[in-house]
Amino acid sequence: IDQIDLRDVKIAHMSGIFPALSTTSRAAFQRLMARLVENDILITFDPNLRPALWGDHDLMVETINELAQYANIVLPGIGEGEILMGSRDPETIADFYLQGTRTQAVIVKVGPAGAYVKTKQGTAYTVPGFKVDQVIDTVGAGDGFALGVITALLEGKDLASAALRGNAVGALQVQTTGDNDGYPTPTELAAFYQTEGVQE
């Protein structure tokens, strides 16, 4: 990890799955997070809870919440909020993670309702989700949401547009089987927006 050249890294997306795998992987993850901070790289963090991988509930909660403090943007779901800090209320979850020294924004995934966004400055709003006629498979929806957020940020879009794209990719993903078959190309995403009558 100390040999990784981070000079061209614009955003690092980190998942709570990796530190769950072993003590060694957890130490490696923590070292990478520290290096990203040292190099002032934007970090997005998805708790991505997998309790079965941890075995120890308290260790999971303590570790994930500690790692979240390294992130500029935290992307929890309401179910994860309930497990990690005891609430399903999006604003309460956001306020908890905004206590992180580096954390500038929290985007809470609220299922079909969309995403709740709150910033360190106190700006808060909900970005509505998209109506889905038939949910075929929810696997990959959370990762699709992160994909939407990150690609929008890389294009210089604001948090509202990033959350909107996250909602869109998640909505497209749950209508397909597999873990990423619904992720759209830019052309497909534009067509979806046009069909839905929204602008990013």
* Structural contact between residues 84 and 190, judged by C-beta atoms closer than 8 angstroms: no
Task: State how far Cα 14 lies from the chain centre.
Answer: 9
Annotated active-site positions, please?
A: 143
Measured CA distances, 167 to 41, 144, 181, 187 (Å): 25, 8, 16, 17
CA 85, CA 40: separation in Å to the nearest integer? 27
Task: List 116's β-bridge partners, or say none.
Answer: 108, 126
Given strand 105-109, what is the order of strands in its sheet? 11-15, 42-46, 73-74, 105-109, 114-119, 124-128
Identify the residue whose tokens are 């709740």. 116
